[in-house]
Amino acid sequence: MDEDPRQVDNELIARTQAGDSSAFDELVRKYSARLYSLVYNMTSNHEDANDLLQDIFAKAYRSIKGFRGKSSFYTWIHSIGVNMTINFLKKRGRHFQLSLDDVDANIQNDKEFIESTSGSNPVREADLKELQQRLNEAMMKLSYEHRAVVTMFDIQGMPHAEISKILNVSEGTVRSRLFYAHRQLQNYLEEFREFRSPS
Amino acid sequence: MPPDKDNPDDISKLLRLKRFEQPGPEYFEGFLRDFHRRQREEVLRPLWRIALDRAGAFFGGDIHREIIGYGTAAAAAVVLFLGVVNFESVESGKQPVAAASAEKSPDTRTASANMLRTEQPRYVIDTRPVSYHEPPFSF
Amino acid sequence: MSRLSVFSGAILAAFCLSSLAWPARGESVFEAISREVQVVYAQHQSAIVRIQAEDEHGRLSGSGFYIDPNGTIFTSYTIGGDTRNIVVCSGDSKLPAERLVGDARSGIAILKVKARTPFLVIGKSADLSVASPVIVIGYPMDLPATPTFGAVGGFDVKYLGRYLSPAYIRANVPVERGEGGAPLLNLKGEAVGILISPRENGTGCFALPIEAAEKVHADFLRFGEARPGWLGITVGKAPRDEEGPPEVREVIPDSPAAKSGLQKGDLLLGIGEKRIHSPEDVLDASFYLTAGDEVPLLVSRDGKETTLQARAVGIPAPLDALRILKDFAAHPGVSPVETIWKVNK
């Protein structure tokens, strides 16, 4: 049965507001994976992502009584997520630790990975992994605002309109930040390619 | 295959793969358990601790704001002024210096004066330095 | 070719004395000055570049200069701070540049190209005084690199009823659009400032002291970003002596100032290396604080001088002007824009 996801969320919110905490558990289950992805790609650190994720849901739970449904829960919780993550990053400065141990086995099931590893342009898995690491490093060089839009648009596949609602900026700003961020990432990766190309 | 700088899709594809960089389902179940535990701890905080935290928030937080407010009472509104003067077009009728026309735009086409006019970039200098309406005597 | 501003005889004489551009036999004073400017121009103009970039309103063009042989460039924030497709032009060469850091608060941006480059040696604006001769070499409009010449008028923290932080170099050098980001040089050809804006009368300009740009650069090398510092002090005029060093009016609880032992009523005589002679001196000195760094505070308490040690922290959220400036500077617009920011949220 195809239920409107917004409808489902609204029911869960109503039940939570009425005191049914198991309804909030459903919301946590529903949104923790994608919020994790958002936070992790901005911090590049699993421990930080875990702590932040706890904080984000705790804040959402505390504030849910005041949630009036003007935006969707999806937008609302992503907004909380982005803001808390950016504040965390600002307070912390740039002393981040990359923890890439979990760049994981699920990649093999991805259609794009399969395409890039088969056919006339084979690439060794080790190369791809290193490239991914460089990409992570490049992501960390972006400003927090630029990292946020790249994470939401490219990694999570959100449309410009949704991102502009979450960040409370115009779609034009979203587009120009993406344009600039992609350019930056390309430049960083190009340095990597030039460094390797003598082989 | 390393990303081709002329193909923006490569970056997007690589980034798309990053959505798999997350732990498996057992992490998320553990996450929910941790979340419950933290909620319980909130509820079970000793009353004296709750009172202390609330008092701290009341005095510390508000006085902090007040003092900052007092310190900048003369600066209740801080105005930051950042202006750019732009050169819009060659309306003055001045012809671009021929020798310099190659520098004007990255694609050096020999074009009519009209086309050159629309290709003119804005020549920038700020109107004034970044400034404050009230002196920032709080630092 | 060089353009000369109009001088009074006194300034001309001062210039000649300070630069040793004493006229040779048969040479007029103007010819002597022109000779000096030509020497500096010939030796250093290759290190000064035109910079083109794009923002949401279209393409823009300004100036900048290399500060090391590895392609590091100082320019103004308007040109390089939040723009894209930045291209550095010098002669026939055009190189793409990446932005290392943009600091809207000071108005500078630091870029980098991948090339070996000529560069300007960094001088000391602190060695400049009123009537010191200075040269601006920039790219006005679509013209080639052009030297302009003048003298330092002073170091200002006030302009048209507004306040500047840090103090800017005011010089009577006429400047034009396109020259934003150009270097201010002394007669040794050292960079002592970055041209930011003209003065309203059209015959003068404001330049950011090179030490301010160096501060941002050092922050970037150490931390990857500009890192302004905060102490938690509010000062006002000294009660008895309106002309003297400022009195501490408030010390924020738990702030770095509080932890250093600073007290309300202390007279503030020095912050770091800067001596404070009046309340307005703090506008300049406070710019150079870096979060995480220890800074000595020289104070006078009950007639006795003492030095306290404070460790600055990052600017706390209610005072986070950077965010406001960043959001704001991202949309400079065609006409001057104002943003009003109420501290008591």
Q: What is the per-residue pLDDT across C196-238, written as a single tens digit (0 to 9) for each?
A: 999 977 789 999 999 999 999 999 988 888 999 999 999 987 7
- Which residues in chain C are closer than 8 Å to A87, comparing Cβ atoms? 317
* pLDDT recorded at residue B109: 37
- Segments forming the whole domain that contains residue C280: 233-314
| B81 domain residue, yes or no | no
| Contact yes or no for C314 and A91 at CB 8 A | yes
- What fold, for A1-97? Rna Polymerase Sigma Factor; Chain: A (1.10.1740)
Least CB–CB distance from A112: residue in B16, B22, B34: B16
Choosing among 1.10.260.40, 1.10.10.10, 3.30.420.40, 3.40.50.1970, the CATH entry for A106-199 is 1.10.10.10
Please answer yes or no on whether B81 and C336 come within 8 Å at the CB atom: yes
Looking at the fold, whether B49 and B107 belong to one and the same domain comes out as no
A96 touching chain C per CB within 8 A: no
The answer to whether residue C270 scores a pLDDT higher than 90 is yes
Select the more confidently predicted residue: C171 or B124: C171
Q: What total number of domains does chain C contain? A: 1
Distance from CA of C188 to the nearest CA of B (A): 25
> Which phi and psi (to 5°) does residue C173 adopt?
-100, 125
**Those residues with Cβ within 8 angstroms of residue C279's Cβ, 6 or more apart along the chain or in another chain:** B135, B137, C235, C236, C237, C246
Decide if B139 is inside a domain. Answer: no
CB contact under 8 A, B100 and C144: yes
Cα separation, C319 vs C324, whole angstroms: 10
pLDDT of residue B130: 84
Same domain, residue pair B62 and B99: no
Q: Taking the model in full, what pTM does it have? A: 0.52
A84 in contact with B, Cβ within 8 Å: no
For A187, nearest residue in chain C (alpha carbons) = C98
Min Cα separation C119/chain B (Å) = 21
Q: Is residue C268 a part of any domain in this protein?
A: yes
Instruction: Looking at the structure, tell me whether residues B112 and B61 fall in a common domain.
Output: no
Q: In this structure, what CATH number is given to the domain that contains residue C266?
A: 2.30.42.10
Asked if the model's pLDDT at residue C250 lies above 70, the reply is yes
Q: How confident is the model at residue A141 (pLDDT cuts 50, 70, 90)?
A: confident
Rounded average pLDDT over C151-178: 92
- Parse chain A into domains and list their residue ranges: 1-97, 106-199
Asked if C175's CB is within 8 angstroms of B81's CB, the reply is no
Residues B50 and B109 in one domain: no
Same domain? B58 vs B107: no
| B71, B14: one domain | yes
Choose from B6, B103, B119, B133 for mutation: most chain C CBs within 10 A.
B103
Of C94, C79, C85, residue with least CA distance to C180? C79
Domain-located, residue B116 = yes
Q: Which of C52, C19, C307 is nearest to C186 (CA)?
A: C19
Greater pLDDT, C149 or A94: C149
Residue listed under structure tokens 């026309």: B101
B115 and B59 inside one domain: no
For tokens 């507001």, name the residue. A17
The answer on B93 and B69 residing in a single domain is no
ipTM: 0.78
Q: What percent of chain B has pLDDT over 90?
A: 2
C297 in a structural domain: yes
CB nearest to B137's CB, from C195, C279, C337: C279
Please report the number of interchain residue pairs, chain A to chain B, with beta-carbon separation below 8 angstroms: 97
Q: C227–A172: do the CB atoms touch at under 8 Å?
A: no
Report the pLDDT averaged over residues C161-182.
92
CB contact under 8 A, C98 and A176: no
Query: C-alpha distances in angstroms, B111 versus B58, B101, B104?
Result: 69, 10, 12
Out of C89, C318, C338, name the one closest to residue B81 (CB).
C338
Number of structural domains chain B divides into: 2
Range of the domain at B29: 8-75
- Chains touching B (at least 3 CB pairs under 8 A) are A, C
Are the C-beta atoms of A16 and A24 separated by less than 8 Å?
yes
pLDDT beyond 60 at B35? yes
Task: Tell me the shortest Cα–Cα distance from B48 to chain C, in angstroms.
Answer: 23
User: How close C96 gets to chain A, by Cα (Å)?
Assistant: 10
